[in-house]
Structure 1
């Protein structure tokens, strides 16, 4: 099974919606059973990851290290359960492996590890590292003469890290048109709202000032995501500002700062799965 850009457009929206619903069920189940995780951010980024893996990226779960594969970097590595759930949905490893998350000797740790998990391009966790790595991936592909693409997903809180803006300036200078940076703009970070911690807006103007092609969309609209993840139309790197809701899909988690890394109780897990069953 290869996951690539050639899914039938007519079937795209219902297919991705169904996949995303299943991924969200896997996320809440995995975190609930393990007693650890970052539920709010996992749920906000789900639709972005589903659109990336099931539509935008050219990858093959049976050849995860193929030289010409597209690269995906989850900079907000604390949302590893969302990445693991999407990789499992694509066939990189059995869904049953999600049951081992956080357990002794499990390859599925709280942050993704490229040595242990097929489909993971780079270890992430310290925020502000993913975009610099992605810039390196895009530059490396150019040097090797490979026409693959690189997509990196960042949390909006981590945009406060200066390393991102150094990388953004470098990407624009080298006109890395094969690079797409997606900001999961849920407006919450650990402990507070982003605008209370360190204001980010006008975020679109800031990316544009650094020389990027900017696309602002509803980060839960699958068709909008697919279109936004399309190649650059200007020869510049693309910044997708995906407006999302932290905890999307579970009403008592949505837009609640305390659910950054809270674990649902057994009763809350049942309620969340019921909401996600439709």
Structure 2
């Protein structure tokens, strides 16, 4: 099986487990969790990690700055073996190790506590600077949301990363065109995120955010002595048509119709799994 096919299968599994988790919970940030699934599949197929030793000193670092997408990251970590899949059903429960937003003190595999938008990227570039000055070859990866880039702190961190030539830092921008209150172009126009990142000194490119092949190629490409930025052209709710089309799909409390859609999607994924096993 080729690497691309394996990553596509990984992405389907992440999406399936995330939908199961959210259905069990009855609500959640489905829109932004779905739009980064393919990126997580590529990252966790390439990063240097050790599920049996999550704080291994030789690991690469990942910071999910858009912390509300935590459910998809939890599914990724569980599928990689950081903790049992059954733990996913405890999302947001009292005493859970899987809170709504990632917490490095609670969840194995979480490198940085996030949720306050704008702050995760600042922590990520700080980690990257420390590793670079230590002469380490470890890499630091970070995902921010396009709406999150309304925060001036993000651009301070981006300028900082370019100034210090953090060649070990890769930034992914989930450009799903929507944020909490509605479309970006109505709330706060982003203009060209790609051109802005280039003007700030990043080696930047844009890819289809649902294509593991394009994401993989961009990730593996040269950074030309600069920090790298990969702008992901995504859809909020990506991979689940009903929620792609839902206007208010940032955080959703599921009604009976929505629960039926989620169950149908999960059953389709599981049917596909059985067909793959029989090939």
Are the aligned partners of 2:29 and 2:250 in contact in 1 as well (CA < 8 Å)? yes
Rounded Cα–Cα distance in structure 1 between residues aligned with 2:135 and 2:221: 17
- What displacement does 1:230 show? 2.3
> Which residues in structure 2 correspond to 1:22-171 (within 5 Å)?
22-55=13-46, 57-171=47-161
Give the 3-state SS of the residue equivalent to 2:242 in structure 1.
coil
> Which residues in structure 2 correspond to 1:244-263 (within 5 Å)?
244-263=234-253
Rounded Cα–Cα distance in structure 2 between residues aligned with 1:231 and 1:120: 26
Give the 3-state SS of the residue equivalent to 1:183 in structure 2.
strand
- What displacement does 1:176 show? 0.5
Rounded Cα–Cα distance in structure 1 between residues aligned with 2:212 and 2:173: 15
Unaligned runs of 5+ in 2: 273-279
* Aligned alpha-carbon RMSD (Å): 1.3
Which string of whole-angstrom CA distances, capped at 9 and with x for unpartnered residues, describes residues 54-86 of structure 1? 12x111111211112110000000111000000
Give the 3-state SS of the residue equivalent to 1:98 in structure 2.
helix
Q: How many residues align?
A: 268
Unaligned runs of 5+ in 1: 1-9
Are the aligned partners of 1:250 and 1:276 in contact in 2 as well (CA < 8 Å)? no
Rounded Cα–Cα distance in structure 2 between residues aligned with 1:139 and 1:183: 20
- What displacement does 1:268 show? 2.6
Residue in 1 that maps onto 2:231:
241
Are the aligned partners of 1:84 and 1:98 in contact in 2 as well (CA < 8 Å)? yes
Give the 3-state SS of the residue equivalent to 2:2 in structure 1.
helix
- Decide which of 173, 178, 181 is 2:171's aligned counterpart: 181
Rounded Cα–Cα distance in structure 2 between residues aligned with 1:43 and 1:129: 22
Give the 3-state SS of the residue equivalent to 2:142 in structure 1.
strand
Q: Which runs of 4+ in 1 moved over 6 A?
A: none
Rounded Cα–Cα distance in structure 1 between residues aligned with 2:171 and 2:2: 26
2:188 pairs with 1:198: yes
Residue in 1 that maps onto 2:275:
none
Which string of whole-angstrom CA distances, capped at 9 and with x for unpartnered residues, describes residues 205-233 of structure 1? 10011001001100111111112122643
- Decide which of 258, 269, 272 is 2:265's aligned counterpart: 272
> Which residues in structure 2 correspond to 1:212-231 (within 5 Å)?
212-230=202-220
Give the 3-state SS of the residue equivalent to 1:242 in structure 2.
strand
More displaced, 191-200 or 222-231? 222-231
Rounded Cα–Cα distance in structure 2 between residues aligned with 1:231 and 1:135: 20
- What displacement does 1:275 show? 4.6
Are the aligned partners of 2:101 and 2:114 in contact in 1 as well (CA < 8 Å)? yes
Are the aligned partners of 2:132 and 2:168 in contact in 1 as well (CA < 8 Å)? no
Rounded Cα–Cα distance in structure 2 between residues aligned with 1:250 and 1:104: 29
